[in-house]
Amino acid sequence: MKIKKIIIETVGSCNLKCLMCPTTHYGPKFKGIMPDKIFNKCLAYIKKETMAILTGWGEPLLDKKLEQRIYSISKLGATVYIATNATLLTKERVKGLLDAGLKGLSISLDAGSKEIYGKIRGGDFDTVINNIKKLSLEREKVNPDFWIDMSFVTMKPNLEDLPNFLYLASNLGVNSVSVTPKYLSFSEMDFKNYYIEPDLILEKLNEVQKSLNLQNLEVRTYALEYFPKDDCLAEAVSTVFISFKGDVSACCNLGHPAPRFDVKNKTLLEPYTIYGNLDDKDLEEIWESSDFLHLRRNLKKGTVPFPCRGCALAPRKNG
Ligand SMILES: C[S@@+](CC[C@H](N)C(=O)[O-])C[C@H]1O[C@@H](n2cnc3c(N)ncnc32)[C@H](O)[C@@H]1O
Ligand code: SF4
Ligand code: SF4
């Protein structure tokens, strides 16, 4: 199986401290920007058909070379996306990203009002909304196909703000919204304070969708609906994650030293599992290593490999 998606964490630090995010709680353990040597090694594996996501557990716009890096990937014919908090999305950066060939981005908002945004993300809501408006205007001029998504990690403190969020997204003219559960909890307290069952979120979402006219808005319900799936929802069978330090793993969660609270068994796990580092090995060699192959073979069969136990995105069997 070849690598279809490559997640390159060009930045491993952040300018916000969102209450649900592992970067806020474990950030000091993995703080920095990817050196050119590592980035260039990633570049060597990108082909025309590859999808590259230049985002991990950090804020990609903190990388001053982001536009240059996007350009070096897009000129190979590959598609590039990022997820961002959009706090630093100035007019110049918008232009730079569009000119570099970025195909689209997802803006994490988790709120539809200033008050809830402040509670969850702690940044300046008005700045972010103005930045989205600037982006929306500029893409009409430069690339009308540029995709704008807005995301909402649904939790106890923001559930009631979901209608405001959907209404706002529809007014801003973004293409889609992604409504997700808080699929990663890192302590029992974190789980108790914030987690909501996907079924309850779907119920709320259906109710809101009936009362609002969201005709041109695609509503994505990633990880909310139960459906059987071999492989995990992060599609690790054909995806590789590379941290800003060059550590290679299957996904963000396995690639960082942060615990995971197993919701089903109510235990705290240490899933940290890396398969090599690009500083002293090639990606091909790491990708084909026996442990990494073993993980992917299990995922492909629909069984949950040891490092993935307790992961809400793990393969789902019928019944
Ligand atoms: C880690 S952030 C990195 C990119 C950027 N800083 C941002 O906020 O979009 C990527 C996405 O993970 C989401 N996220 C953070 N903590 C989460 C958690 N515990 N469970 C599920 N998603 C989470 C964020 O809301 C964001 O949409
Ligand atoms: S902005 Fe993104 S990376 Fe930063 S703390 Fe928030 S969710 Fe985490
Ligand atoms: S199932 Fe495993 S590889 Fe997939 S997202 Fe979860 S921890 Fe990562």
Residue 318 has pLDDT above 70, yes or no: no
SS (H, E, C) 50-114: CEEECCCCCCHHHCCCHHHHHHHHHCCCCEEEEEECCCCCCHHHHHHHHHHCCCEEEEECCCCCH
Site to probe by mutation for ligand 3, drawn from 7, 251, 296, 299 as the one with most ligand atoms within 8 Å of Cβ, is 251
Task: Quote the ligand 1 centre to 197 CA distance (angstroms).
Answer: 18
Q: Say if residues 218 and 178 touch (Cβ distance below 8 Å).
A: no
Q: What percent of the chain has pLDDT over 70?
A: 98
Separation CA 132–CA 82 (nearest Å): 14
Instruction: Read off the pTM.
Output: 0.96
Is the per-residue pLDDT at 319 higher than 60? Answer: no
- From the CA of 153, how far away is ligand 3's center (Å)? 18
Pocket test for ligand 2, best of 53, 85, 88, 158 (most atoms within 8 A of CB): 85
Q: How far, in Å, is the centroid of ligand 2 from the Cα of 197?
A: 22
CB 126 within 8 A of CB 83: no
Atom of ligand 1 nearest to the CA of 83: 9
| pLDDT tens track for 81-124 | 999 999 999 999 999 999 999 999 999 999 999 999 999 999 99
Predicted pLDDT of residue 212: 87
pLDDT in tens, 224-272: 987 778 889 999 999 999 999 999 999 999 999 999 999 889 999 999 9
Burial 161-184 (b: 16+ CB within 10 A, else e): bbbbbbbbbbebebebbbbbbbbb
SS3 258: coil
Q: How far is CA 26 from CA 131, 186, 256, 266, 269, in A?
A: 28, 10, 9, 20, 15
The yes-or-no verdict on residue 54 having pLDDT over 70 is: yes
